[in-house]
Chain A
Amino acid sequence: MQTLTDEQLVERIKVDEVRGFAHLYHRYKHRVYAYCYRLLRHPQNAEDATQETFLKIHRSFQQLENPASLQTWIFSIARNEAFTILRRVKPVEELEKAENEVWEEEGPLERIVERERAEVVQRCLSLLKPAYREVLILREYEHLSYSEIARVTGASESAVKSALFKARKAMGVKLDSMMNERDER
């Protein structure tokens, strides 16, 4: 059962809905949760987004046109759920203003206090604007190709390439300054 491809899993769900869906859930639950968590930076919101994602997958399973694109379909649903919550937390204007800005505004509570590099990287990622954060998450953690990221986000491949470059560059600069700051303390 573990060796089923996504296409075979889709067929399985058509034959045995309950077991097939449970299999799909167990295959993707940690990835979807991690993706939502990294986007939302909030455990409860990430759990809500993950739950909604799977319920939506269940409700709209018939809308999946190509079984081979199951993974990108799941992530695009998760993305919509996560952004719905993000919009609830922050108004749309705030999320979309200053397209060329890479960083979100840093509040007093978001100042860096962590000592470990891994935590600094995580904090740094969480300070990126969602549009940059999501491409970096999909590439670095989910290992999606540019075309798959484009399908998930609805952007063009060249836009994905450009966003990844900007995000990495900004992350590199920010990380260096944070690590230097930490070393000076």
Chain B
Amino acid sequence: MSILIAVITLALIAGIFGIILGYASIKFHVEGDPVVDKIDALLPQTQCGQCTYAGCRPYAEAIANGEAEINQCPPGGETTILALADLLGVEAKPLNDEHGEEKAIATVAIIDEQVCIGCTLCIQACPVDAILGAAKQMHTVIEDECTGCELCVPPCPVDCIDMVPLKETLETWKWPLPDDAHTAPRT
């Protein structure tokens, strides 16, 4: 008899917890994959495709699925690799040369307006709509919107797009790391 009570009690408890868990999984359901969002937030959003994926988000998805390494993003460079390693709890590794080198100075695209024939090919290539123009009209780059991804350079039939280093201003200037940084112990 007592064994029956025990079985019934346990079954009841299991049932109650089952209902609670079932309810919680519906109530607190998480849409999408938050890891992908977190990875995407760390990527530089140049949408350049140097990682071999179609943009930053596809690369983030690939990292989340374990298909891609964290060291395939040249625009993000060391900072992004360190941040990704920190987020995912993996070992940081140097940037993979196959995907390109980290630029020392950020660049933006500039269109030589005298040469531009207004073919709109660069407009179609720009992932962030930073190029303004229409067919047979002169095009120009909105500097503040340009991410420096260089995707507009190869399609240009008259080779009128140059990547120029972003000019250092008082706002973007950084104090240099003192020369004697070697005296600091590593943390």
A and B part of one assembly: no
Q: Which residues of B contact A (CB under 8 A)?
A: none
